[in-house]
Amino acid sequence: MNDPIRVLHVDDEAGFTDLAATFLERADDRITVETATDAGDGLKYLHDHTVDCIVSDYDMQERNGIEFLGDVRAEYPDLPFILFTGKGSEEIASRAISAGVTDYLQKEVGTGQYDVLANRITNAVEQRRTERNANRLRQRLQELTENLHDCVWLFDREWEETLFISGYEQVWGRPVDAVENDPRDFLNGVYPADRETVSGAMDRLSDGISVDLEYRICRDDGPRWVWTKGEPIVDRDGNVVRIAGFTREITERKEREQTLSALHTAAREIGGADESAAVYETLTETAERILEFDLVAVDVEDDGYLIQEAWTLDVEDRAYHDRTSLETGDTFAARSYNRQETIVVDDLRECEITPADPEYRSAVTVPIGEFGTFQAVASEVDAFDQHDREFAELLVGHARVKLAQLQDKRALQNRTEQLERQNERLDEFVKVVSHDLRNPVTVAKGNLDLVRDEHDSESLEDAAWAVDRIDALIDDLLTLAREGEEVGSLDPVDLGTLSERCWRSVATGEATLEVAIETDSERVIEAHESRLQQLLENLVRNAIDHGGPNVTITVGRLEDGDGFYVADDGAGIPEANRDDVFEIGYSTSNDGAGFGLNIVKQIVDAHGWTIDVTDGSDGGTRFEIRGVNFVR
């Protein structure tokens, strides 16, 4: 320290004080000395000036040095006071110590004594300044920590001295003087099962290792969770000299974590439910067991009403709305459902809505989406805080998701059952068509052929055409019934070769087929061969039926390589009708039943392709099939 040291030297020998001042100022250039010849003048100087240390003789007129010391201590209890006297004895020294003297030094012959006195003065002043700085720091720390909710502490390395502590009673619920007298007192407040853990953390701090741990403590008002973070303080040589840290109560946070963990477990239970009733039951049980809600009820929406579905309250002891109209009923459950928002009421008696039971004082209502409402009521005012609301919304959110899944599952199951019934009817229809209709037609054709061999009549030709038409319609109906499912495995199919085979199997008359695919690598696609053959045959037949006997039909690869096309140079399809051509029954031909292009669309869909109708390059119609994979 280089701050000046102001010394007041009181001695009734003026010549001695002047000499002492000279040598003291020479011994340490920080020291400046003012003098007084008696205790009265010394006290007066103290009142008017700032002094860092008093040096006083013992044997003086009016008042001796010990009496002067008593007067000084009455007003300046911590001001360094050195008794520097030529009249020394054990009795005087004992009386001086009892009166609170800082140091005692006997006058000697020679100037060396002034060096000793200067050293004693500087030591006393520096110690006082250090203590004052420490006290100021302690006071500032005290003021700071008084505004915190933590227990801030500072111990020596061996946990034998409490250097500073604040907030001990607030956090630990134990008297602060207990830990000031015994730094290890807080261990008595640690939960027995956690005491060994805390003791081990203290040892680690003494060894220079930081600690960060959570544990339980025992208080008169119940157990609490606390968080302690401690740091060792080391000197320049790295030796631990003190331990500093804080302890904070975290009971609310721990309880929240435990509640969230329990809610996650409940969410898994809800997720495993197979029926809505199980979801509602888990919902109410969890609210009662984990959230500690006393009275819980779940209402389910049914045809414009909220119907009581699950509850934990005893309906014989407590009233409850078992059926509420969503249109006319003005209850918090109806409001919450209609607005799809959570409603928390702190005091039901201050609301315009009358509760079902006058004993209900507060309530929280959470909508379960389209399915209903969750409601908890309590007999106390302000029973539900923000955490209760958040936990209830979280729990209800899990239930809402599961209920939606079950709803989708039921819808899918109903749809599956409906399709199964449709398939059964379709199978029955196929049997009827393939057997009950086909057999009579076959008999009719045979008898008609016999009659035609014996007679030549235009009416017989018309009858033969009608029977053939019925037979073709039966084939189309069977195809429609059997071609709706997805294709199985796909194989490489030569599009050009298959097109020519289809051409030979269809009555084409004077029509012409052109395969506009130049290289073999552009001809092979992945497809189900028999289904692709049906597609091509129907497109060829459609072109001949609508384009006339001299129509030219072209099969080729699309310019962008994404598929193939089948085009004709016939009359074409008006743009206004192109969205309808794939519908069952659509046909512009008097002889057509309107099945062919619908069969084409089903085969395209079964392959995962798409089909569009456009104008052909030479007029007529062009069908473009896209999404086709060519085999390179």
Average pLDDT over residues 399-420: 90
Number of domains forming the structure of the chain: 4
Q: Is 416 among the domain residues?
A: no
Distance between CA 512 and CA 503 in Å, rounded?
9
Task: Using alpha carbons, select from 360, 364, 356 the residue that is nearest to residue 380.
Answer: 360
pLDDT of residue 86: 80
Q: Is 553 among the domain residues?
A: yes
SS3 623: strand
Strands 305-311 and 512-516: unpaired
Same domain, 393 and 261: yes
pLDDT of residue 196: 96
Average pLDDT over residues 83-99: 85
pLDDT of residue 161: 92
Same domain, 45 and 99: yes
Average pLDDT over the chain, rounded to whole?
A: 86
Percent of the chain with pLDDT over 70: 89
Neighbours of 281 (CB within 10 A): 17
Q: Which amino acid is at 212?
A: D
CA angle 479, 484, 490 (to 5 degrees): 100
Choose the weakest-confidence range: 56-70, 353-367, 481-495.
Answer: 481-495
Average pLDDT over residues 602-618: 89
Same domain, 530 and 607: yes
Looking up residue 377, the CATH number of its domain turns out to be 3.30.450.40
Q: What is the dihedral of CA 334, 337, 339, 345, to 10 degrees?
A: 60
Looking up residue 236, the CATH number of its domain turns out to be 3.30.450.20
Choose the weakest-confidence range: 93-107, 149-163, 412-426, 441-455.
Answer: 441-455
Q: Last residue of a domain, which of 249, 271, 306?
A: 249
**Which residue shows structure tokens 């315009």?**
352
Task: Using alpha carbons, select from 361, 151, 127, 339 the residue that is nearest to residue 244.
Answer: 151
Instruction: Give backbone dihedrals phi and psi of 484, rounded to 5 degrees, phi first.
Output: -80, -20
Q: Is 473 among the domain residues?
A: no
Task: Give pLDDT tens digits for 469-513.
Answer: 667 666 666 665 555 555 668 899 999 889 988 888 777 778 888
**Which residue shows structure tokens 């799809």?**
340
pLDDT of residue 460: 73
- Tell whether the model's pLDDT for residue 286 goes beyond 80: yes
Same domain, 279 and 359: yes
Same domain, 313 and 225: no
Task: Give pLDDT tens digits for 388-398.
Answer: 899 999 999 99
Task: Using alpha carbons, select from 157, 271, 171, 279 the residue that is nearest to residue 208.
Answer: 157
Looking up residue 88, the CATH number of its domain turns out to be 3.40.50.2300
Task: Give pLDDT tens digits for 2-11.
Answer: 789 999 999 9
441 vs 37 pLDDT, higher one: 37
Task: Using alpha carbons, select from 281, 284, 306 the residue that is nearest to residue 371.
Answer: 306
- What is the sign of the dihedral through the CA atoms of 336, 340, 344 and 347? negative
Q: Going edge to edge, which strands form the sheet with 222-234? A: 162-166, 151-156, 240-249, 222-234, 211-219
Q: Last residue of a domain, which of 399, 416, 447?
A: 399
- Which of the residue ranges 164-178, 186-200, 502-516, 533-547 has the most confident prediction, judged by mean pLDDT? 186-200
Task: Give pLDDT tens digits for 132-145.
Answer: 877 777 777 666 66
Q: Is 465 among the domain residues?
A: no
Residue 63: enclosing H or E segment and its boundaries?
none
Q: Is 120 among the domain residues?
A: yes
Q: Is 456 among the domain residues?
A: no
Distances in Å between the alpha carbon of 68 and those of 43, 55, 95, 239?
8, 11, 13, 45
Task: Using alpha carbons, select from 111, 4, 89, 102 the residue that is nearest to residue 55.
Answer: 102
Looking up residue 613, the CATH number of its domain turns out to be 3.30.565.10
Neighbours of 63 (CB within 10 A): 17
- Which of the residue ranges 242-256, 427-441, 571-585 has the most confident prediction, judged by mean pLDDT? 242-256
Q: Last residue of a domain, which of 399, 432, 453?
A: 399
Query: In residues, how long is the chain?
Result: 632
What single DSSP character describes residue 628? Answer: P
**Which residue shows structure tokens 């500032």?**
140
Neighbours of 188 (CB within 10 A): 14
pLDDT of residue 30: 92
Q: Is 349 among the domain residues?
A: yes
At 247, list the tokens. Answer: 């302890």
Q: Which residues contact 541 (CB under 8 A, 6 or more apart)?
A: 506, 596
Q: Is 165 among the domain residues?
A: yes
Ramachandran sector of residue 572 (left: φ over 0; alpha: ψ -120 to 50; beta: rest): left
Same domain, 242 and 333: no
Task: Using alpha carbons, select from 567, 584, 568 the residue that is nearest to residue 476.
Answer: 584
Same domain, 117 and 186: no
Same domain, 133 and 195: no
- Tell whether the model's pLDDT for residue 93 goes beyond 60: yes
Same domain, 228 and 282: no
Q: In which band, very low, low, confident or very high, does the pLDDT at 130 lie, cut at 50, 70 and 90? A: confident
Distance between CA 323 and CA 307 in Å, rounded?
5
Same domain, 490 and 620: yes
Distances in Å between the alpha carbon of 103 and those of 111, 123, 128?
19, 10, 13
The alpha carbon of residue 380 and the mean position of all alpha carbons in its chain are separated, in whole angstroms, by 32
Q: Going edge to edge, which strands form the sheet with 5-10? A: 31-36, 5-10, 53-56, 81-85, 103-106
Distance between CA 517 and CA 540 in Å, rounded?
17
Residue 226 forms beta bridges with which residues?
215, 249
At 529, list the tokens. Answer: 């061969």
CB 217 within 8 A of CB 226: yes
Average pLDDT over residues 111-125: 91
Burial 523-544 (b: 16+ CB within 10 A, else e): bbbebbeebbbbbbbbbbbbbb
- Tell whether the model's pLDDT for residue 593 goes beyond 80: no
Distance between CA 599 and CA 6 in Å, rounded?
115
CB 28 within 8 A of CB 118: yes
Domain interval for residue 15: 5-138
Task: Using alpha carbons, select from 233, 187, 239, 191 the residue that is nearest to residue 210.
Answer: 233
Same domain, 156 and 128: no
Same domain, 153 and 229: yes
Strands 222-234 and 240-249: antiparallel
Ramachandran sector of residue 71 (left: φ over 0; alpha: ψ -120 to 50; beta: rest): alpha
- Tell whether the model's pLDDT for residue 379 goes beyond 90: no
